[in-house]
Structure 1
Amino acid sequence: MKCIVGLGNPGKKYKATRHNIGFMVIDELLNRHSFDLNKSKFNGKYALEHIGKEKVLLLQPQTYMNLSGEAIRPLLDYYDIATEDVVIVYDDLDLPTGKIRLRQKGGPGGHNGIKSTINHLGTKEFKRIRIGVGRPANAQPVIDYVLGVFPKDEAANVQESIQKAADAFETWLEKPFNEVMNEYN
């Protein structure tokens, strides 16, 4: 079984914010395959379905970003999903808006959701799809920036990156991740 975790914050207040781009990728996959997040356990909403021949778990932690690992670890344990069968999708300030970057492992890079995930998984070795949200301009505090919505002039880039990240996950269901990295990076 493969698992994709989209990081974000629960609630309407955060729905369209930069920090919720991971949730947006999960929503894209749900829409493509007519799935619903119809299960809830361990502070996570999820779907357990098949895409092609592969059984997949699509997860949106409901713990708020900084505690994401608290929802991820128990679900992986419950369904006996190995860390190498998980990909985490999240926002990245160090990439330009709309750019995606796949990695096999790495540190948190200042991202508290990834820091929590590393702490709860006990490893930095898990697959990631980072989606660029750019950096704030004019000395805007980072927290205000990531909890802000994308401006209209970035909408096309953002939607394209969400679709590309969903495509990358679907490709991983059929190819090794290093091949997916070569194709999408």
Structure 2
Amino acid sequence: MSSKFLVVGLGNIGPEYALTRHNAGFMVLDRLAAQNDFRFSMQRLAYTAEWRHKGRQIVLIKPTTYMNLSGRAVSYYMKQENIPVDNLLVITDDKDLPFGKLRLRSKGSPGGHNGLRNIDEVLNSQEYARLRFGIGSQFSKGRQVDFVLGQFPDEEVEQLPEVLDRAGDAVISFCTIGIQQTMNIFNQ
């Protein structure tokens, strides 16, 4: 097994999206960076950071391509860094999970998520790990876009640090002990 990993946080760039539900992937990586003293810098197609942890080299990216073209950045960095698909982890928001629930899967369908759909198309595969970050689904018919691009309400903002920490722990676990054991720990 290669000791090099690519961790992708999905989101949209721009201050108007910063704390929106659709940016859960960015938020997980920003929290990891703040707690582990590494910084992101603007590179081709993404903000990137490199982090060494327990002998693993972890390349983290926040694509700057906008959500529905995320696959371009993922594919570019997998090739650029020579990272096998088994060592790819994509972090995404998921409206089908209640707020704060995390679900790690070794593969799966995009489930209506445009970022995952584009990654599937570009990689021509659904065989990669994804960490789904529950944002809930408290929206009425036809209001999904407003909901996912909306801010977390105050009571969820209060819980966010704890959920982001758990998601960060899941990322570290994936890169160190592998997907099976990580799923056993984090998929309650």
TM-score range, shorter chain: over 0.9
Q: For the Cα contact (< 8 Å) 2:54–2:176, is it kept in 1?
A: no
The alpha-carbon deviation at position 15 of structure 1 amounts to: 0.3
The alpha-carbon deviation at position 172 of structure 1 amounts to: 1.9
1:150 match: 152
Classify 1:38/1:137 alpha carbon distance in 2 versus 1 (closer, same or farther; 3 Å).
closer
Aligned identity (percent) is 37
Q: For the Cα contact (< 8 Å) 1:97–1:157, is it kept in 2?
A: no
The alpha-carbon deviation at position 122 of structure 1 amounts to: 1.2
1:63 match: 65
2:175 match: 173
Q: Which amino acid aligns with 1:9?
A: N
The alpha-carbon deviation at position 32 of structure 1 amounts to: 1.4
Q: Number of residues paired by the alignment?
A: 184
The residue correspondences of 1:23-102 to structure 2 (distance < 5 A) are 23-41=26-44, 43-102=45-104
Out of 3, 6, 14, the residue aligned to residue 3 of structure 1 is 6
C-alpha distance after superposition, 1:139-182 (max 9, x if no partner): 35111111000000112333222111100111122212100000
Out of 123, 127, 130, the residue aligned to residue 121 of structure 1 is 123
Give the distance between the partners of 1:173 and 1:69, measured in 2 at CA. 21
Q: For the Cα contact (< 8 Å) 1:92–1:133, is it kept in 2?
A: yes
TM-score normalised to structure 1 length: 0.96
Residue segments in structure 2 that go unaligned for 5+ positions in a row:
none
Q: For the Cα contact (< 8 Å) 1:39–1:47, is it kept in 2?
A: no
C-alpha distance after superposition, 1:53-83 (max 9, x if no partner): 1111010000111111011101110111111
Residue segments in structure 1 that go unaligned for 5+ positions in a row:
none
Q: Which amino acid aligns with 1:103?
A: R
Give the distance between the partners of 2:142 and 2:158, measured in 1 at CA. 23
Cα root mean square deviation, aligned: 1.2
- SS for the counterpart of 2:28 is helix
Larger mean CA deviation between 160-169 and 15-24 belongs to 160-169
